[in-house]
Amino acid sequence: MDFTREQLSVLLTTCIGRRDDYALQRESGLYARAGQPLTRDLLRAHLQGRLTLGTYVIDEQGCCRFAVYDADAERGLLQLLSVQQRLRQDGVASFLEASRRGAHLWVFLARPTPAGVVRGRLHPYTPTGVEFYPKQETASFERPGSLIRVPLGIHRRCGRRYPFVEVRDGRLVPVARTVVETLSWLSTLSRLWLPGALPASGSLAPVGVPTQKKFSSLPASTTRPAPTETIRDWCLSQDPLAVIGRYVELDARGMGCCPFGWHHAAGRDRHPSLWVHPLRRGELACWWCHTWQQGGSLFDFLRLYHGLDAPQLWGRLRAGEPC
């Protein structure tokens, strides 16, 4: 079976970490490092079962697009179901993949996120006897770090293809019947946004997450705060429609697609739900997402958009640095 470029892109942007290197699984089940860039032809061969890829979890920028809990022990599947339940209670979606000796539990991220941030947020859920990837906070080409089998390929040791599964009526069943259907399912999944995530740009933007504009400096419509100016004063001096309009395409009513995709189905606001309006009577509120039922000031918008905490954003604004 052949696969379209769009289908290959789903796998590439969802389940692939490092792109300038990969590994091939041998018949023994062990992996041999390739030391060369991953291509779509290799992804196609993986899905067709002609070879099986392993991907390094930490990418070239030291970031992750996913995290994985790996359980190989006899009780591993039950352990991961327990982890999945705990994550769900804390608002984190996770997805279970069967494996030869147990299972993998994947958490997909809305944007590339530094490995240290990922470990700090998700590693505490790891029970004894379960491995968490990434194991490291840093990686390099010489030491690429954790490796995981790319989903939907055939395990070379046993010749089986292991599906993603979910609990239905007390039983574990595959989420889809075919590889193509599974790829379609992968493109709709909820993804976790973590503070510190990098802005998505160009070909690195995950499926389901709007590609954001990159600026080499502050938007032209944004002024640098005066030395004695407060955040409130700065917000009151700005034109919200002009500033937010540089990040989100707004219509004549100030409506646009909300860029905070983690609060929208499949990670993307497909029907404009973000309303941006002029400041009124000295109030700081200038935007509202009707789906999320949240809004705030221009400062709040920029902080959420760039994944910065308040001191970081204020420091960059005052220095006139890119934000």
Q: Give a yes or no: residue 116 inside a domain.
A: yes
Q: Is the dihedral of CA 4, 200, 165, 33 positive or negative?
A: positive
Q: Give a yes or no: residue 211 inside a domain.
A: no
Residue 318 pLDDT greater than 90, yes or no? no
Model pTM score: 0.63
Q: What is the pLDDT of residue 202?
A: 30
pLDDT tens for each residue of 144-201: 999 999 999 999 999 999 999 999 988 999 999 999 999 999 998 888 988 766 654 3
Q: Give a yes or no: residue 134 inside a domain.
A: yes
- What is the span of the domain harbouring residue 88? 5-193
Pair (27, 152) in one structural domain = yes
Q: In whole angstroms, what separates CA 292 from the centre of its chain?
A: 19
Q: Are 35 and 69 in contact (CB under 8 A)?
A: no
Residue 102 pLDDT greater than 90, yes or no? no
User: 173-177, 248-252, 308-312: which has the minimum mean pLDDT?
Assistant: 308-312
- Best-predicted range by mean pLDDT (28-37, 220-229, 254-263): 28-37
Q: In the chain, pLDDT over 70 holds for what percent of residues? A: 89
Q: What are phi and psi of 77, to 5 degrees?
A: -65, -45
Q: Give a yes or no: residue 216 inside a domain.
A: no
Pair (143, 250) in one structural domain = no
* Listed residues 177, 193, 209: the one ending a domain: 193
Q: Give a yes or no: residue 209 inside a domain.
A: no
Residue 303 pLDDT greater than 70, yes or no? yes
Across the chain, what does the average pLDDT equal?
86
In the chain, how many domains are there?
A: 2
Q: What is the pLDDT of residue 229?
A: 86
Pair (176, 241) in one structural domain = no
Pair (180, 237) in one structural domain = no
Residue 321 pLDDT greater than 70, yes or no? no
pLDDT tens for each residue of 33-83: 999 999 999 999 999 999 999 999 999 889 999 999 999 877 888 899 999
Q: What is the mean pLDDT of residues 108-128?
A: 93
Please name the amino acid found at residue 92.
V
Q: What is the pLDDT of residue 278?
A: 92
Long-range contacts made by residues 278-282, C-beta under 8 angstroms, separation at least 24?
Answer: 278/239, 278/240, 278/241, 279/235, 279/236, 279/240, 282/236
Cα 115 from Cα 94, distance rounded (Å): 18
CATH number of the domain encompassing residue 103 = 3.90.920
Q: What is the pLDDT of residue 222?
A: 58
Pair (117, 254) in one structural domain = no
Cα angle value 129/130/131 (rounded, 5°): 120
Cα angle value 254/249/238 (rounded, 5°): 60
Angle between helices 310-319 and 298-306 in degrees, nearest 10: 100
Pair (14, 85) in one structural domain = yes
Q: Give a yes or no: residue 174 inside a domain.
A: yes
Q: What are phi and psi of 157, to 5 degrees?
A: -75, -40
**Confidence band for 217, pLDDT divided at 50, 70 and 90:** very low
Structure tokens at 74: 């006899």
Pair (30, 176) in one structural domain = yes
Q: What is the pLDDT of residue 209?
A: 33
CATH number of the domain encompassing residue 265 = 3.90.580.10
Q: What is the pLDDT of residue 231?
A: 92
The residue assigned the tokens 């290959």 is 8
Pair (131, 11) in one structural domain = yes
Q: Give a yes or no: residue 87 inside a domain.
A: yes
Pair (78, 146) in one structural domain = yes
